[in-house]
A and B are shown apart, each in its own frame.
Chain A
């Protein structure tokens, strides 16, 4: 049965793939078993992340890119992540509305995921889903996330190449600079260049990527009109260049990036552990905060002291 599963995934059997993604997304013991089974298959297709404010044109851009990739005979999987309602936990997932023309193409798999209100846990679920897509032998994996909130930034960091989508007159350029997302962007897309003031957006973005804080990296700025398919070939080429770059020997800058990825991943895991496990010290600190004996910052200092003294004792 396990070998059937592997063969079906490899063949991109839609029903099996769809169910495997669900199992991976939901986590738990079943997901662990699935990941164990597909391990031998996993290849490493590049993961391209797209982020930007809602309405900036991420889905439209991905749709146009998929068309270009299909012309180049590459198979593509798309994960489109939308936020969930904070009230009910439900979600309306509408990204694939813009990707409708690929619906019956066997070389394209599109899946809508809800953020499921998770704090920090989203990227863990998404990385499991990515393992399933890797086992299904896609040439490229595209990831759409709304660029707001820490959990989405975490997801974005799963990507090998990060594309930030900005639009004219939206303050997106300023937003991008302020939010620090430029630090992880490999490519900046100035979409909707058919709109007035587009030139100005591009200028801003080019300026921003030359900021001293950004010196060590070269970020290309590409203007597109996603709705008309304009600039998309160029974007695909830039993505390919960046993907090639991943394989090159790592420089100082990527060392820093690796370090940042690692540290954030450790922080995420520790967050999960501390949230889920029984920990008397944490309970005690929470009680003190609730009683008004100390504030959160004081509690953090006490916690860190507690950790270091424990370490020196052992």
Chain B
């Protein structure tokens, strides 16, 4: 039954950029693919995102970044590991230059979605990652 329950995805924004139209569209697409999306206001700091991920027991975190916010993501990856949330998959969507993408991937980010990427591709990838995360999630019982 547990594996059948819908994937849970946190869609959020860190840093200073407040444009959230893109993340709203993605949130709706994930919902329409059957996922449970926890949606937050922009401007979350790292500690808040980690807390949200814990509280909501999410499988995937999607960070939308249109400015330079993605540069904070390696810090988030470290914080997740330190909190015992290494199983959670993180994806970044938005405007990310090629050289930064390499840094993100080596910091443990699962996928970077660029502008023009189809919603179908995003939902398929997030669904796959959510199942992978759930396989690895520590069991409390």
- Nearest chain B residue, comparing its CB with the CB of A97: B41
Interface string of A7-29 (1 = CB under 8 A from B): 00000001111111111011111
Query: Is residue B56 contacting chain A, with contact meaning CB distance below 8 A?
Result: yes
B76 to nearest A CB, angstroms?
Answer: 15
- Nearest chain A residue, comparing its CB with the CB of B45: A104
- Nearest chain B residue, comparing its CB with the CB of A110: B55
Q: Range of interface residues on chain A?
A: 35 or more
A112/B141 in contact, CB under 8 A: no
Q: Inside 8 A of A23's CB, which chain B residues have their CB?
A: 2, 140-141
Query: Is residue A30 contacting chain B, with contact meaning CB distance below 8 A?
Result: yes
Indicate whether A92 sits within 8 Å of B31 (C-beta atoms), given known contacts A15-B84, A19-B137, A22-B57: yes
B115 to nearest A CB, angstroms?
Answer: 22
Q: Inside 8 A of B27's CB, which chain A residues have their CB?
A: 92
Residue in contact with A109 in the complex, picked from B39, B55, B139, CB distance below 8 Å: B55
Interface string of B28-69 (1 = CB under 8 A from A): 101111111111110010011001101111000000000000
A96/B40 in contact, CB under 8 A: yes
Give CA–CA (A93, B48) in the complex, Å.
17
Q: Inside 8 A of B8's CB, which chain A residues have their CB?
A: 22
Give CA–CA (A109, B66) in the complex, Å.
30
Which of A60-68, A82-90, A288-296 lines the interface with chain B? A82-90
Q: Inside 8 A of B56's CB, which chain A residues have their CB?
A: 18, 111-112
Give CA–CA (A300, B35) in the complex, Å.
37
Q: Inside 8 A of A158's CB, which chain B residues have their CB?
A: none
Q: Inside 8 A of B31's CB, which chain A residues have their CB?
A: 85, 88, 90-92
A103/B51 in contact, CB under 8 A: yes
Query: Is residue A179 contacting chain B, with contact meaning CB distance below 8 A?
Result: no
Give CA–CA (A5, B139) in the complex, Å.
11
A14/B51 in contact, CB under 8 A: yes
Query: Is residue B106 contacting chain A, with contact meaning CB distance below 8 A?
Result: no
A85/B32 in contact, CB under 8 A: yes
- Nearest chain B residue, comparing its CB with the CB of A29: B1
Query: Is residue A116 contacting chain B, with contact meaning CB distance below 8 A?
Result: yes
B51/A25 in contact, CB under 8 A: no
Query: Is residue B6 contacting chain A, with contact meaning CB distance below 8 A?
Result: yes
Q: Which of A15-47 contact B (CB under 8 A)?
A: 15-23, 25-30, 33-34, 37
A127 to nearest B CB, angstroms?
Answer: 17
Query: Is residue A53 contacting chain B, with contact meaning CB distance below 8 A?
Result: no
- Nearest chain A residue, comparing its CB with the CB of B11: A92
Residue in contact with B6 in the complex, picked from A34, A90, A111, CB distance below 8 Å: A90
Query: Is residue A213 contacting chain B, with contact meaning CB distance below 8 A?
Result: no
Query: Is residue A100 contacting chain B, with contact meaning CB distance below 8 A?
Result: yes
Query: Is residue A75 contacting chain B, with contact meaning CB distance below 8 A?
Result: no
Q: Inside 8 A of A100's CB, which chain B residues have their CB?
A: 40-41, 44, 48
B2/A90 in contact, CB under 8 A: no
Give CA–CA (A109, B27) in the complex, Å.
23
- Nearest chain A residue, comparing its CB with the CB of B8: A22
B2/A15 in contact, CB under 8 A: no
A26/B40 in contact, CB under 8 A: no
Indicate whether A15 sits within 8 Å of B54 (C-beta atoms), given known contacts A37-B141, A90-B31, A90-B36: yes
A297 to nearest B CB, angstroms?
Answer: 35
Q: Inside 8 A of A15's CB, which chain B residues have their CB?
A: 54, 83-85
Q: Inside 8 A of B118's CB, which chain A residues have their CB?
A: none
24 contacts between A and B (CB under 8 A): A5-B140, A14-B55, A15-B85, A17-B54, A17-B55, A18-B56, A19-B140, A22-B5, A29-B1, A37-B141, A85-B31, A88-B32, A90-B6, A90-B34, A92-B31, A92-B37, A93-B36, A96-B40, A100-B44, A103-B44, A110-B55, A112-B56, A114-B6, A114-B36
Cβ-closest 10 pairs across A and B: A28-B1, A14-B54, A90-B31, A18-B57, A94-B39, A103-B48, A88-B34, A22-B57, A90-B34, A26-B5
Query: Knowing that A20-B140, A100-B40 are A-B contacts, what are 8 other residue pairs whose CB atoms are under 8 Å apart, sorted by A's residue number?
Result: A5-B140, A17-B54, A23-B141, A27-B1, A30-B141, A90-B32, A111-B56, A114-B36
